[in-house]
């Protein structure tokens, strides 16, 4: 994997994980009510779930390499369109409602909860199926290449979700201001659309 491919894949994973959704809202709420560490274990479980989906997609793509490779340009455009769609959905996302209290759980239970949130979110696998062919040479998916992809995406996911966690902990008051949640959704939407355009034109 080249440096450019690394940063591109890292950026896509980073943006994907901060997109408003069940996992993001769960981390928001956990950070607000219980602080950094409970939210960290919840986040880590979510990342593990995403990496399980990613592993399945990587090796499934390898099995169908001969079929998918001739359609790479179309897949790349469709991936870009999907990112733009996610940006559109983020722009018009509903108000973020954060709980002020949450049930206390052990670290393991928080991790398993995060894992469950990820594994029951169908957009995770759809996202990877749409996006990964733009970054993966389907004829060279050996173990080392697969692990480098998993590591890159894992770091990107953990960085994005940790940023949310730390941000909520540090600036809780900001999220209580009127219309701030909408502004956050719109900022994420702009980034998603830009990423989609760049992917589609690459």
Give domain limits for the chain: 3-79+93-176
Give the tens place of pLDDT for each residue, 32-60: 777 889 889 989 999 999 999 898 888 87
Tell me the pLDDT band of 160, cut-offs 50, 70 and 90.
Answer: very high
Cα–Cα distance, 116 to 133 (Å, whole number): 26
Give the tens place of pLDDT for each residue, 67-120: 655 666 776 777 678 768 877 877 876 555 544 444 556 889 889 988 888 887
Query: How many Å from the N-terminal Cα to the C-terminal Cα in the chain?
Result: 17
Q: 183, exposed or middle or buried, with CB in 10 Å at 0-12, 13-18, 19+?
A: exposed
pLDDT for 191: 67
């Amino acid at each position: 994997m080249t440096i450019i491919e690394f940063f591109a894949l890292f950026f896509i994973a980073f943006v994907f994980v901060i997109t408003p959704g069940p996992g993001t809202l769960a981390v928001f709420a956990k950070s607000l009510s219980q602080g950094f560490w409970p939210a960290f274990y919840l986040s880590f479980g979510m990342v593990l779930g995403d990496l399980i989906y990613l592993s399945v997609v990587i090796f499934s793509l390898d099995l169908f390499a001969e079929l998918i490779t001739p359609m790479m340009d179309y897949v790349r455009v469709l991936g870009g369109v999907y990112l733009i769609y996610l940006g559109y959905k983020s722009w018009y996302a509903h108000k973020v409602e954060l709980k002020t209290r949450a049930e206390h759980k052990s670290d393991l239970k928080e991790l398993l909860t995060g894992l469950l949130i990820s594994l029951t979110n169908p957009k995770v696998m759809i996202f990877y199926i749409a996006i990964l062919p733009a970054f993966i040479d389907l004829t060279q998916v050996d173990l080392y290449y697969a692990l480098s992809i998993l590591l890159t995406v894992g770091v990107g996911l953990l960085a994005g979700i940790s940023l949310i966690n730390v941000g909520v902990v540090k600036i809780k008051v900001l999220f209580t201001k009127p219309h701030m949640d909408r502004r956050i959704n719109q900022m994420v939407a702009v980034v998603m659309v830009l990423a989609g355009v760049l992917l589609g034109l690459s």
